[in-house]
């Protein structure tokens, strides 16, 4: 339960040295900058722009760089399936990063990319128009006369169009001639000819038959000739697109440079935003922020490089929002992300990472609940980490969950479900039975009691943390009359309900009862002690006791662990039954059986991961955290060179 100790610092620097100081602080990544107090700005009569009002010439450059990168992404090296699963930043050596960032002018590259993008969009628009014309003309390809000749005269009306295929027969009853040009089964394309004197009769009927007239304005020649011309234009367009894509692929060699430029200018823009947060006069600039306490010496070293720079450590003001940075041992580090998903702890709250880690891993193992699946999951996690050369928190979480699943699966006899037993594999089934403690499919009540017991333990741990938190804040009476009281009451109820009848020790049983009643009375009297009215205090205290009913709901929520575990076993069992049924098919069964087994269990292995993460997380967030945890902390985000696409690395010199 560790958070990094932070110190608030205020910086003073001459206006002419401010940019260089901010750049050095960004190089070191030491300071989380915060807004200068508004009353100080008013006192110094400093004009200040909000981040919404603040403008920088870099904004347009960043927008153009971002658009260019997105455009060129599909033309760069194709990522493998494994690489696409994890978007890792590209490592760039520090000297190379700044050499490119400071020497390459983005304007020339951006103009090339934007020109090519515009040309490609124009070709795509032309292609879309040609295809639309082709689709329009295609149904009329069988017409043997020019489209411009389809026009009405003083006496006759020529009306090309289409109507539903099933209604073309209805036209035979009308005084008109009908030429069927094409029928695709849904709509019939026709040319109708009738006398103008019959127009008032025919038009309403055609509308009733869903006739849609067609106009051929702008088209000349027979449809077949028009289609040939359109195809020739499309072929030319395709050749132009091919040449254009080759030009784009040539320009895409600048992709890595553009990502470096984007990350560089974004970091510079962030520095400008920080500069805008400060208080600036004609001769001095003042900034404030937070530094890790252990890095004050490094901060001192940076400030020693400047003639006019000075800083002082000050105490945070009352009600000031202090940023939070979690710091845990290596074994707990991957699980910090689970806490951050919910929300960072407030500055006065403990970091719950180390507490939820064992519970989450255990609950994952119960939900996944299969030793073979757990082994495969752990091996796959290690393989992915080595293949991608990363240490992703999620993969470490899955690795740990796989280990827990191996242990719990062995205890419950789950090795690809009940495959060893169902397939009657002698030595493997004997090994399974030797390791098994209980069968969750048959000993459901044992499984039920196990999950309730785990819920009881975790809820009491949450109450204990709540008590620790209150005592640390100086609220010892509150700790005793609320969380500690509930720990004693709940533990007493469990003892009296499960063990009192089996232990013939009246003194012990009466002591437990007396202890429970004492803490109930304590809760009634002191849990709402801040109320001035004694009667209201007692009523609120009694209501707090009544609220203990909610613990029953909390404990029952942990039954979802059993439900998920049984579901995983049930899916595996169904796959095994299907595998053995297919295996009995003559000849084909020897091929289909292994396929059903492999792909079925791979599907089960993958699909159960989601539930085994989501439901244990819900128990942490809803049932556990509500006992003691208040989120709302602001993350500690020091100004540093941090990119979206790249990661700056320093190559260590080899010792000779």
Count the Cβ atoms, other than its own, within 10 Å of residue 63.
Answer: 10
Q: Is the separation of the CB atoms in 269 and 63 below 8 Å?
A: no
CB 137, CB 230: distance < 8 Å? yes
Task: Report the Cα–Cα distance between both ends of the chain, in Å, rounded.
Answer: 43
Joined together, the tokens standing for residue 116 give 């090519």
The predicted pLDDT at position 652 comes to 58
pLDDT the model gives residue 655: 41
Tens of pLDDT, residues 575-631: 989 988 888 888 888 888 889 889 998 998 889 898 899 999 999 999 999 888 888
Distance CA 643, CA 261 (A): 10
CB atoms within 10 A of CB 172: 8
Query: The tokens of 654 are what?
Result: 């080899």
Q: Tell me the mean pLDDT in the region 14-35.
A: 90
CA–chain centroid gap for 182, Å, is: 52
- Token pair of 453, please? 């017991």
Confidence of residue 511 (pLDDT cuts 50, 70, 90): confident
Residue 398: name the closest of 355, 360, 359, 344 by CA: 360
pLDDT per residue as tens digits for the range 339-348: 998 989 888 7
Directed axis angle between helix 393-412 and helix 589-618, to 10°? 110
pLDDT tens digits, one per residue of 348-407: 788 899 999 999 999 999 999 899 999 999 999 898 888 776 668 888 999 999 999 999
Residue 161 φ/ψ, nearest 5 degrees: 175, -170
State the pLDDT at residue 547: 76
pLDDT at 506: 78
Q: Is the model's pLDDT at 641 over the cut of 50?
A: yes
> Tokens standing for 640?
């540093």
**How do residues 454-472 score in pLDDT, each as one tens digit?**
999 999 999 999 898 888 8
DSSP annotation string for 314-366 = EPPPTT---EE-B---TTTGGGHHHHHHH-PBPTTSPP-HHHHHHHHHHHHHH
* Selection from 109-113, 418-422, 429-433 with the highest mean pLDDT: 109-113
Place of tokens 């539903």: 164
What is the CB-side half-sphere exposure of residue 153 using CA atoms within 13 A?
6
pLDDT over 80 at 118, yes or no:
yes
pLDDT, the chain, mean = 86
Look at residue 1 in the predicted model and tell me its pLDDT. 53
* Residues forming CATH 3.30.70.2750 domain(s) in the chain: 136-229
- Tokens at residue 229, please? 């011309």
- pLDDT at 323 > cutoff 80: yes
Top CATH class, 136-229: alpha beta
553-564: per-residue pLDDT in tens? 888 899 999 998
Question: How far is residue 551's CA from residue 527's CA, in Å, rounded to a whole number?
Answer: 17
Q: Model confidence over 39-86: pLDDT tens digits?
A: 555 555 555 544 544 557 888 899 999 999 999 988 886 665 555 555
φ, ψ for residue 150 (rounded to 5)?
A: -85, 90
Closest CA to 32 of 333, 345, 339, 324: 324
What would the pLDDT profile of 10-23 be if each residue is shown by its tens digit? 999 998 898 899 99
Residue (of 564, 578, 602) closest to 422 by Cα position = 578
Question: How far is CA 116 from its chain centroid?
Answer: 33
Beta carbons of 176 and 198 less than 8 angstroms apart:
yes
Model pLDDT, residue 548? 77
The predicted pLDDT at position 172 comes to 83
| Residue 189 pLDDT class (50, 70, 90 cuts) | very high
Q: What angle do CA 311, 317, 322 make, to 5 degrees?
A: 80
359 burial (CB, 10 Å; 0-12 / 13-18 / 19+) is buried
């Amino acid at each position: 339960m560790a958070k990094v100790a932070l110190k608030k610092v205020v910086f003073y620097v001459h206006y002419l040295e401010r940019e260089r100081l901010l750049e050095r602080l960004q190089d070191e990544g030491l300071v989380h900058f915060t807004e200068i107090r508004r009353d100080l700005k008013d006192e110094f009569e400093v004009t200040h722009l909000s981040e919404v009002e603040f403008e920088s010439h870099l904004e347009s450059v960043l927008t153009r760089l971002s658009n260019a990168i997105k455009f060129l992404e599909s033309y760069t090296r194709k990522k493998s399936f494994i690489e696409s699963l994890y978007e890792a930043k590209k490592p760039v050596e520090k000297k190379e990063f700044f050499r490119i960032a400071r020497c390459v002018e983005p304007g020339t590259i951006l103009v090339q990319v934007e020109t090519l993008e515009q040309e490609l969009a124009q070709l795509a628009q032309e292609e879309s128009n040609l295809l639309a014309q082709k689709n329009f003309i295609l149904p009329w390809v069988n017409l043997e006369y020019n489209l411009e000749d389809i026009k009405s005269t003083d006496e006759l009306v020529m009306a090309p169009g289409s109507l539903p295929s099933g209604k073309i027969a209805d036209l035979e009853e009308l005084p008109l001639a009908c030429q069927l040009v094409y029928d695709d089964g849904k709509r019939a394309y026709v040319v109708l000819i009738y006398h103008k004197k019959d127009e008032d009769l025919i038009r309403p009927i055609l509308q009733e038959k869903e006739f849609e007239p067609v106009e051929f304005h702008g088209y000349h020649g027979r449809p077949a000739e028009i289609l040939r011309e359109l195809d020739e234009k499309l072929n030319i367009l395709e050749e132009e697109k091919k040449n254009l894509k080759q030009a784009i692929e040539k320009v895409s060699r600048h992709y890595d440079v553009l990502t470096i430029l984007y990350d560089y200018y974004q970091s510079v823009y962030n520095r400008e935003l920080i500069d805008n947060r400060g208080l600036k006069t004609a001769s001095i600039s003042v900034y404030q922020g937070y530094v890790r306490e252990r890095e004050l010496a490094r901060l001192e070293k940076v400030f020693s490089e400047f003639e006019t720079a000075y800083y002082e450590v000050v105490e945070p003001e009352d009600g000031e929002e202090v940023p939070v940075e979690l710091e845990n041992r290596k074994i707990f580090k991957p699980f910090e992300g689970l806490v951050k998903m919910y929300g960072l702890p407030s500055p006065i709250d403990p970091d719950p990472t180390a507490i939820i880690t064992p519970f989450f891993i255990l609950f994952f193992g119960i939900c996944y609940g299969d030793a073979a699946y757990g082994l495969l999951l752990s091996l796959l996690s290690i393989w992915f980490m080595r293949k991608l050369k990363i240490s992703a928190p999620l993969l470490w979480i899955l690795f740990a969950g796989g280990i827990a699943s191996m242990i719990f699966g062995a205890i419950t006899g789950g090795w690809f479900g009940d495959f060893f037993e169902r397939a009657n594999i002698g030595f493997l089934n004997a090994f399974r039975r030797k390791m098994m403690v209980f069968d969750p499919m048959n000993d459901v009540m044992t499984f039920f009691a196990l999950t309730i017991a785990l819920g009881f333990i975790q809820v009491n741990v949450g109450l204990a943390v709540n008590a620790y938190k209150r005592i640390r804040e100086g609220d010892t009476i509150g700790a005793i009359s609320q969380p500690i009281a509930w720990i004693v009451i709940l533990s007493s109820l469990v003892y009296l309900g499960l063990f009192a009848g089996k232990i013939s020790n009246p003194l012990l049983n009466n002591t437990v009862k007396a202890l429970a009643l004492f803490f109930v009375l304590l809760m009634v009297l002191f849990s709402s002690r801040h109320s001035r009215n004694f009667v209201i205090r007692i009523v609120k205290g009694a209501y707090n006791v009544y609220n203990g009913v909610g613990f029953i709901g909390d404990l029952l929520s942990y039954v979802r662990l059993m439900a998920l575990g049984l579901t995983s076993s049930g899916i595996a069992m169904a796959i095994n039954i299907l595998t053995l049924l297919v295996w009995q098919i003559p000849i084909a069964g020897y091929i289909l059986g292994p396929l059903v087994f492999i792909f079925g269990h791979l599907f089960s292995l993958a699909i159960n991961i989601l539930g085994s993460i989501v439901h244990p997380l819900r128990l942490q967030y809803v049932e556990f955290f509500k006992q003691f945890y208040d989120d709302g902390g602001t993350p500690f985000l020091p100004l540093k060179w941090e990119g979206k696409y790249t990661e700056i690395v320093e190559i260590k010199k080899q010792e000779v």
